A and B are shown apart, each in its own frame.
Chain A
């Protein structure tokens, strides 16, 4: 009887230890799904530098519908497509832009984040990040319509890791599509922002 009790206690200690280690650590890796290494690029661009960026209107996690055209004549726009919520590289891309807000505002640019996830998933993900200063839009339904218009919809329904730099006239001035497994360096983003007219 005592032996069973002690054995049970032993299991309890180990269970508590494992639970507490995870909770105390609290790192993002406890929440994310790791898809492993993916095909670097799995789509073909449908837009080029110099053309007018396709307009869109998508729901944001803030509750309003955001269109690209509402910034025409007012601000430069950077569209940041990321593949999916709760995945490793994406979860460590926008938090960097979050503290780099000044880089965007100094160049009269608004940043718009877009994924193919639905609003509830995006809401939970951004909440877990502690909030973001920029709009996050859902291209969930009709699924991937905007990503497809830009040519960054992958065959599995996620988006590429892509950045589109659009000037105040709505013209695409630069495009960066990186290996989906790699985060684009912030200085590259900075360089394209500074180069905007």
Chain B
């Protein structure tokens, strides 16, 4: 009896600390839904994402050339997304650095309920270096089961495998370095590939 209660308390403790961190470890089997985006005009974005399709044509998010992909759900009008923007830019720079000789980690942003115009304003104001896509009808947001903005969804993209969601975070992250470490830890396909 006492053993069971101790187990219960420990379980509750780990559940509570998990909630406190604000990050959820997505279930291993949670498959990334098919998200269709449009190949942007910006050639630098296409090189970053590894896209070869013609501008204006569609591509699936899983076509992005990366081991790990972070999807930021933002809203240009959201003051918290505005405040978080510099930290997300810092995260992108760290991703670029670590991708040189580690797992290839990339990031895209989806502007929930934002038009192209609104997304571009957000990009220009905060000098955002990574690709942002409008999600005017929030179809991607809903498909990803978004829970407010900013939100972050980490995905593992393994060649020949269905892409999976490995991390969910609702709200701002406290430290870009720690968040990137957590993302890589949860998203790395295998030790062999990481090396």
Hey, which bits of chain A sit against chain B, CB under 8 A? 2-3, 6-7, 9-10, 13-14, 16-18, 20-21, 24-29, 92-93, 95-96, 98-100, 103, 129-130, 183, 185-187, 190
Contacts and interface: CB of A to CB of B under 8 A. Distances in A.
Given A3-B2, A20-B20, A24-B171, 12 more contacts: A3-B1, A10-B9, A17-B17, A21-B19, A24-B21, A24-B22, A24-B174, A92-B78, A103-B121, A185-B115, A186-B117, A187-B115
B16 A185 contact: no
Given A20-B20, A21-B19, A27 B148 contact: yes
Contacts of A187: 115, 117-118
Nearest to B117: A187
Given A17-B16, A100-B121, A185-B115, A28 B80 contact: yes
Interface of B: 1-2, 5-6, 8-9, 12-13, 15-17, 19-22, 75-80, 82-83, 113, 115, 117-118, 121-122, 125, 148-149, 170-172, 174
Contacts, number: 92
Nearest to B116: A187
Contacts of A29: 148
Given A10-B8, A10-B12, A20-B20, A186 B118 contact: yes
A9 B117 contact: no
A10 B11 CA distance: 9
Contact of A13 (B1, B16, B79, B118): B16
B139 to A, nearest CB: 17
B86 to A, nearest CB: 13
Please indicate which of the listed interface residues A7, A28, A95, A187 has the most CB atoms of chain B within 10 Å of its own CB: A95
- B interface, by DSSP: helix, strand, loop or mixed? helix
Nearest to B19: A17
Contact of A130 (B9, B75, B76, B79): B79
B5 A26 contact: no
A26 B80 contact: yes
Nearest to A128: B79
23 contacts: A9-B9, A13-B15, A14-B12, A17-B15, A17-B16, A17-B17, A17-B20, A21-B19, A21-B20, A27-B80, A27-B149, A92-B78, A95-B82, A99-B76, A99-B82, A99-B122, A99-B125, A103-B121, A130-B83, A185-B117, A186-B76, A187-B115, A187-B117
B9 A6 contact: yes
Contacts of A96: 76-77, 118
A103 B125 CA distance: 12
Please indicate which of the listed interface residues B2, B13, B83 has the most CB atoms of chain A within 10 Å of its own CB: B13
Contacts of B12: 10, 13-14
A129 B81 CA distance: 12
